[in-house]
Amino acid sequence: MSVFMDLNIINSSDKNRLKHIIETAAHLGYSTVAINYVVEPLQKKQEIPNPQSISDLFDKFPVVQGKSSPIKVLNRLTIVASDASHFRPTNEYKKFDLVAVYPKTEKLFHAACMTFDVDIICIAVTEKQPFHFKRAPVNGAIDRGIFFETCYAAAIRDSITRRYTIANAICLMEICKGKNVIVSSGAERQLELRGPYDIANLGLVFSLSEGDAKAAVSTNCRSVLLHGETRATASGVIHTMKKPQILQKEEEETPAAKKARTELA
């Protein structure tokens, strides 16, 4: 059985609050959480924040209820894109384990599905969807292994955003037929988190099938993680590692021509 994951916990500067949220998540049964750094590039050159080191948060990570291993915490970046120039995959993006984009226009949604190098595409929850989903880009995204994400914290906070969340989610499920969907919290406080089986039940409200609803919290989240890991590799087969420095002394004894060829084994 796949483990449960919550891939959207909004980052806050208050470390204590973040600690409480992660402790609650571990208590509820989530094996992995991702701290989400949301960036909305309004000015021309906005800095991408550096993800803080995870070991700063906890000395000893809280143990997931029901298992004996501690909770795993990842870093995730979300770019709120209202213009094509906002999304520029630079080296800063590589510091994050997951990259997500929140497209605000139809053109950007199409571009994000077909060309952008992201793992997750976020669906609007706090406002009415400004554009309709078309089957072509959605199927293109599914082929590329990109997942669509719905957050449920807005549905808990306010009744108006609840309507938008459910309406947008149902719209998405109709077009994508329940494939490649993840549901995450988007929680800013620990009381906005819900247990994984509660969310699987919420998937039924979003007109997912029972199997898809549970997969949205478990299997699909794991697929997103793997997609994020392979983003730094060549087709997921080869990945690069920094080679440890060989001591210079040994190389000086023999001239270069007589050096044994150790590189090609």
Partner 1 sequence: MEDSSKFERYVYKNASVYHYMKISLVLEKENRNISDAQFKQLIISGVKDLYGEIGASFPFDLLKFDPKELTGILRVYNSGLVKLWSALTLLGSYQNEACAFRVTQVSPFLLALSGNSRELQFGDRAQVALRR
Site residues (CB under 8 A) for partner 1? 28, 65-66, 152, 155-157, 159, 162, 189, 191-195, 197-199, 201-202, 204-205
Q: State which residue, 42 or 204, has the beta carbon closest to partner 1.
A: 204
Q: State which residue, 156 or 171, has the beta carbon closest to partner 1.
A: 156
Please, are residues 89 and 117 in contact by the beta-carbon 8 Å criterion? yes
SS3 15: helix
Please, are residues 101 and 81 in contact by the beta-carbon 8 Å criterion? yes
Min separation Cβ 50 and partner 1, Å? 31
Min separation Cβ 141 and partner 1, Å? 27
Min separation Cβ 143 and partner 1, Å? 32
Q: State which residue, 51 or 195, has the beta carbon closest to partner 1.
A: 195
Min separation Cβ 190 and partner 1, Å? 8
Q: State which residue, 19 or 157, has the beta carbon closest to partner 1.
A: 157
Q: State which residue, 155 or 181, has the beta carbon closest to partner 1.
A: 155
Which of 7, 9, 6, 12 lies closest to 28 in space, CA to CA?
6
Q: State which residue, 136 or 191, has the beta carbon closest to partner 1.
A: 191
SS3 146: coil
Question: In what order do the strands lie in the sheet containing 147-151?
Answer: 5-10, 32-39, 72-81, 98-103, 120-122, 147-151, 181-184
Distance of CA 176 to the CA centre of its chain: 19
Min separation Cβ 194 and partner 1, Å? 5
Min separation Cβ 122 and partner 1, Å? 20
In one-letter notation, the amino acid at residue 53 is S
DSSP-derived letter for residue 105 is: S
Which of 44, 202, 5, 220 lies closest to 119 in space, CA to CA?
220
Q: Strand locations in 166-231, DSSP E?
A: 181-184
Which of 19, 18, 23 lies closest to 37 in space, CA to CA?
18
In whole angstroms, what is the distance from residue 37 CA to residue 123 CA?
Answer: 16
Min separation Cβ 199 and partner 1, Å? 7
Q: State which residue, 144 or 189, has the beta carbon closest to partner 1.
A: 189
In whole angstroms, what is the distance from residue 224 CA to residue 82 CA?
Answer: 24
Please, are residues 114 and 105 in contact by the beta-carbon 8 Å criterion? no
